[in-house]
Structure 1
Amino acid sequence: MLRFSNFLFPESRDPDRDAEVIADCVAEAKLCDELGVEVIWLAEHHFDGNCAYVDPVTFAAAILAATKRIKVGFAVAQVSLHHPMRLAEQMSLLDNLGKGRVIVGLGRGTAYNVYEYQGYGIDHAEAGERYEEAEGIMLKAWTSPQGFRHEGKHWTLNVPRLRPTPYTKPHPYLIRAASSEDGALHLARRGLPFLMNVQSLETTAKRLAAYRATMAEAGFGAAHIARCMDESWVWRNVVVADTDEEARRIGVPAFEAMQEHRKKLRERIYAEQGIIMKKETVPPARVNPDLALIAGSPATVAARMAEIEQTGVGGVICSFRLGPMPAEVAARSIRLFMENVAPRFTTAAVPAAAE
């Protein structure tokens, strides 16, 4: 049955308020732990205030220490910005600190924000190949008790053995992001679950149907396909209030302000440098609040979640705090969701490990 999680993706427009927003994030994670949310997902973005805590690896340790039950997932760690051995060590440490409560979500990094690569001195054109090589290194690091050698394009390594060894065997639970249909089908051919970005219900249903069909064509059986569907997650922006009118009054301006802020620095860099990674021809489901925002009373939101459940996906990643929305408003939305929406659905735990 459908499971629910919270994408802790807080905006901080004023650098002088960063500490306050970061403290709000810890409080939100503790609230979610108390209310029975299954996973807190963390983002990674740099230099623009779109993600106040910036470094999800460090912040995950704080969340694990402040909570007792909730899983902490990455949606996603921008692998191309990290040294793969350091990231493998850090994830293994988190896996031990949380006694298996970590979900290692991996992705290449942003497809749009060139300044994130510039700030780390990395050619954005290398992001994809760095990600592919790094993922392979991390898996070898977690599963090679005798150590290993690696000679690749970006790294030459002679690793005696990874320490600490992972708490979860054979390695921390791992999932990949797929922002496009091609990416989702690539993972389907490998027989792997995935994280989907914000899409309309129609696109979600079509993509998941294609994902299932591709997995079957690749030779995977019905039980494996069902497990991958159950372990996959779709992302939605969610605002719950007592009435539909109140939810839209709160949610729509916050959503629109969030979208405007997220492109501001990207557009400034383009104006100053004339550099653009990729023209952002986003689908309406990302920028249109009528498609990209689920805002309503508990009954309305539950009905929308039931529609998502019909696609066969296992879980929904809900973003509750949107843009400049005050922390207390997001907290009330989360409480209404967990007390009046989530109980209408049966929950189940994520498996302990997957390839």
Structure 2
Amino acid sequence: MPDLTLSVLDLVPVRRGQTSADAVAASVALAQRADELGLHRYWLAEHHNMPSVASTNPPVLLGVLAGRTRRIRLGSGGVMLPNHAPFVIAEQFAALEAAAPGRIDLGIGRAPGSDPVITALLRSSGHTSDVDAFPNHVRDIEALLGAEGAGLRLATGEQYTVRATPAAQGTPDLWLLGSSDYSAALAAQLGLPYVFAHHFSGEGTERALDLYRSQFQPSEHLSAPRTFLTANVVAADTAAEAERLALPQLQHMARLRTGTPLTALDTVEDAEAARLTEPQQDLVAGMSARWFIGEAGDVADRLTAFAQRFGVEEVMVSPSAGASAAEPIDRAPARERTLELLAARLPQGVLAAA
């Protein structure tokens, strides 16, 4: 088993007392720390109209990070394609690739990333993307990003070429993301890299990876299956401190899954004093068992065993530690500390090339 490569997934969390500007500043600082530590990728998720999540527009935020980091790969984890016109996404990521050559990943997902009302708003400007058209739109983006562009045949019979950027020197790495068999099968069919969202529920991972690997068809871009996994992680100097830091995010997810109206994330102190319903307590206990929460050495060992179990060389961690009320409003010290502790224990992994 080669050394373990670490990457980061960020939703730009917003806690009580923070503005969106504060949350973005904290994520910029986190990305810069990941860059300094030698981690491989930094991806931003797409979510909408959530009081605890500021990663509504990955391409815009990635442009900010491209100017504030040095070497780390930057990408979307992912752009929710049914919300957007494929040509717009291709143009955005071609521009990012031009600004940060060789550092851009375009991760594409099929879910809307929000509720039906927000999905309708996103499509009201005339976007033609929808879930049923997803495979064709993935192919369109792949063609549009290439140097030769995509060919359209007009009603007059004339051939018309469309390019995402006039003179591409390189193209972003295109990844398919998913939490079901559908995306695994499609990634295999198209010969694309694939990421299974293990951090969602921790279920179905083995089946999805087996399906992807067994059905993979080589393409001009990729000759063999290429994949990694995601995981929710809280590492600290002691197990007790890690469990305390994990409470705000765990309780927030329990409220989400039981239909409780959401707010910004609690501070650690508020989470310690919170009262949950019995179903919410059960959800917290179940998630705690699946997440990687604990003393840093133990978490590093468990992540390595996790990677070995599923035959991957890279794990993308979502650093889920909460913040105390007294900590700087524009930083996320415990999230940064999670990355620092893991980098200290997996130095070969964080410097390895995926």
On whether the aligned pair clears a TM of 0.5, the verdict is yes
- Smaller-chain TM-score bracket: 0.7 to 0.9
Q: Which moved more, 1:49-58 or 1:197-206?
A: 197-206
Q: Which moved more, 1:118-127 or 1:129-138?
A: 118-127
Deviation at 1:94, TM superposition (A): 0.3
Structure 2, unaligned runs of 5 or more: 264-281
The verdict on how the C-alpha distance between 1:287 and 1:52 changes in structure 2, with shifts beyond 3 A counting, is: farther
For residue 303 of structure 1, what is the aligned residue in structure 2? 301
Q: Which moved more, 1:18-27 or 1:46-55?
A: 46-55
- Residue pair 1:92, 1:165 contacting (<8 A) in 2 also: no
- Residue pair 1:77, 1:109 contacting (<8 A) in 2 also: no
Matches within 5 A, 1:303-322: 303-310=301-308, 311-322=310-321
Normalising by structure 2, we get a TM-score of: 0.78
Higher helix share: 1
Deviation at 1:253, TM superposition (A): 4.0
Deviation at 1:54, TM superposition (A): 1.3
The verdict on how the C-alpha distance between 1:87 and 1:300 changes in structure 2, with shifts beyond 3 A counting, is: same
Aligned equivalents of 1:265 and 1:78: distance in 2?
25
The verdict on how the C-alpha distance between 1:323 and 1:87 changes in structure 2, with shifts beyond 3 A counting, is: farther
The verdict on how the C-alpha distance between 1:207 and 1:120 changes in structure 2, with shifts beyond 3 A counting, is: closer
For residue 39 of structure 1, what is the aligned residue in structure 2? 41
- Residue pair 1:166, 1:172 contacting (<8 A) in 2 also: no
Matches within 5 A, 1:19-168: 19-110=21-112, 113-121=115-123, 127-143=130-146, 145=148, 148-149=151-152, 159-168=161-170
Deviation at 1:56, TM superposition (A): 0.6
Count of residues paired in the alignment: 320
For residue 331 of structure 1, what is the aligned residue in structure 2? 336
Deviation at 1:20, TM superposition (A): 0.7
Deviation at 1:255, TM superposition (A): 2.0
Select 2:251's aligned residue among 251, 256, 266: 256
Task: Name the SS for the 2:48 alignment partner.
Answer: coil
The C-alpha deviation readout for 1:113-133, integer Å capped at 9, x for no partner, is: 223312224599973134333
Task: Name the SS for the 1:10 alignment partner.
Answer: coil
Task: Name the SS for the 2:132 alignment partner.
Answer: helix
- Residue pair 1:176, 1:194 contacting (<8 A) in 2 also: yes
The C-alpha deviation readout for 1:6-48, integer Å capped at 9, x for no partner, is: 1111222669611111111111111111111111111111112
For residue 173 of structure 1, what is the aligned residue in structure 2? 173
Deviation at 1:95, TM superposition (A): 0.5
Normalising by structure 1, we get a TM-score of: 0.78
- Residue pair 1:147, 1:162 contacting (<8 A) in 2 also: no
The C-alpha deviation readout for 1:29-76, integer Å capped at 9, x for no partner, is: 111111111111111111123431411101100000000001001110
Structure 1, unaligned runs of 5 or more: 152-156, 269-283, 351-355
Select 2:234's aligned residue among 239, 251, 255: 239
